């Protein structure tokens, strides 16, 4: 990545726990691609975060590598952004320990996600789960990020990152940039095809609820044909028609047409024709992504070179902050000669 001092740093991450969905792509990754030209972007595969839940090693490794390739296929340019594996940068874990020593236990216990995951995984309530938001703070602060795209479920984590940064800046003098939330204008919120009141999720157990970026054309169209719709026959975006509204939003995002234009296009047509058209539009949009993803996974040397190059560059950026932190808090500097 060519670092531009005139541009702000933007940081975001995604866990490699399941295959990426249409919701991830339209709701976040499309914006990641656009942001590459506006900011110095650090995009992480958050594999360390994923370890709070027990993973099957071979499957986990394959998913992480597949996600890395998929993000490039979606348009994340390794020459414009630093796309990397969190576990390849030791400074994440090193800075987390320093931040843990400057985070109050009550702050960690108050995190909504800790409470939710403790209930969902009662058999594995580990220390990592409690320290999860501190690792996220380390992720962000390590690169002096000014901006972090956040959804509703991540606002608390950004808030604690800000609190820790301000606390340490006050205690030791300026160390960290205090991050601000990046609010996406007009970002798509893609809902489940089977429950349009809930977001499309990678962890949904209903295979018909989500469209995965790796789905072939027949699978995509079949899922849209089975999509839940609403009472009545009008194809309009309205609060009392969440199913049709969701499909109109998806159609708009994949074709570039406005929702109003889509409503006019399908005026007087039935739900069956509409769902087929949405399915075909999505399949056409995903076809080049799927093809490039498959190519990258076959060309392992190309992928390995990108991973190695980006890992080296990311470690160098992270170490600059870590050296500064260690000096400020009074640790003896390393002799790297």
Check 8, 199, 217, 257 and give the catalytic one: 199
Check 8, 80, 115, 202 and give the catalytic one: 202
Check 7, 34, 80, 117 and give the catalytic one: 117
User: Is residue 7 among the annotated active site residues?
Assistant: no
Using CB atoms within 10 Å of the CB of residue 185, give its burial: 0 to 12 exposed, 13 to 18 middle, 19+ buried.
exposed
What sign has the CA pseudo-torsion 269, 271, 276, 280? Answer: positive
CA distances from 256 to 51, 248, 251 (A): 38, 11, 8
Residue-wise burial string across 41-72, b where 16 or more C-beta atoms lie within 10 A, e elsewhere? bbbbbbbbbbbbbebeeeebeebbbbbbbbbb
**Other CB atoms within 10 Å distance of the CB of residue 269:** 12
Pairing between strand 9-14 and 180-182? Answer: unpaired
Radius of gyration of the CA atoms of the chain, in A: 21
Six-digit token string for 50: 């994923």
How many helices and strands (H and E) does the chain possess? Answer: 13, 5
* CA pair distance 189, 313, nearest whole angstrom: 33
Helix/strand/coil percentages in the chain, nearest 5 = 55, 10, 35
User: Is residue 120 among the annotated active site residues?
Assistant: no
* CA pair distance 81, 74, nearest whole angstrom: 13
User: Is residue 285 among the annotated active site residues?
Assistant: no
Residue-wise burial string across 124-135, b where 16 or more C-beta atoms lie within 10 A, e elsewhere? eeeeebbbbbbb
What sign has the CA pseudo-torsion 265, 267, 269, 270? Answer: positive
Residues serving a catalytic function are 117, 199, 202
């Amino acid at each position: 990545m060519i670092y531009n001092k005139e541009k702000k740093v933007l940081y975001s991450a995604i866990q490699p726990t399941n295959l990426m969905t249409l919701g991830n792509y339209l709701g976040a990754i499309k914006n990641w691609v656009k942001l590459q030209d506006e900011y110095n972007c650090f995009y992480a595969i958050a594999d360390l975060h994923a370890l709070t839940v027990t993973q099957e090693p071979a499957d986990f490794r394959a998913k992480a590598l597949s996600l890395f390739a998929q993000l490039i296929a979606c348009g994340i340019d390794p020459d414009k952004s630093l796309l990397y594996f969190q576990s390849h940068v030791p400074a994440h874990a090193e800075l987390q320990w320093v931040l843990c020593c400057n985070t109050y236990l009550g702050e960690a216990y108050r995190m909504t996600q800790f409470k939710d995951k403790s209930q969902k995984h009662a058999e594995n309530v580990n220390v990592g789960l409690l320290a999860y938001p501190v690792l996220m703070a380390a992720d962000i602060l390590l690169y002096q990020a000014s901006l972090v795209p956040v959804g509703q479920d991540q606002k608390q984590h950004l808030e604690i990152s800000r609190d820790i940064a301000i606390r340490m800046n006050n205690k030791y003098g300026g160390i960290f940039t205090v991050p601000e939330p990046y609010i996406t204008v007009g970002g798509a919120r893609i809902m489940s095809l089977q429950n349009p009141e809930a977001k499309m999720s990678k962890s949904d157990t209903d295979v018909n609820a989500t469209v995965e970026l790796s789905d072939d054309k027949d699978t995509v169209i079949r899922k849209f044909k089975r999509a839940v719709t609403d009472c009545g026959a009008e194809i309009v975006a309205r609060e009392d028609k969440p199913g049709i509204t969701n499909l109109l939003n998806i159609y708009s995002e994949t074709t570039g047409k406005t929702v109003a234009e889509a409503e006019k296009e399908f005026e007087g047509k039935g739900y069956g024709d509409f769902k087929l058209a949405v399915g075909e539009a999505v399949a056409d949009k995903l076809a080049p992504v799927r093809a490039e993803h498959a190519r990258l996974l076959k060309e392992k040397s190309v992928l390995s070179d990108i991973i190695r190059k980006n890992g080296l560059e990311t470690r160098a950026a992270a170490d600059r902050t870590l050296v500064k932190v260690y000096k400020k808090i009074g640790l003896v500097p390393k002799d790297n000669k």
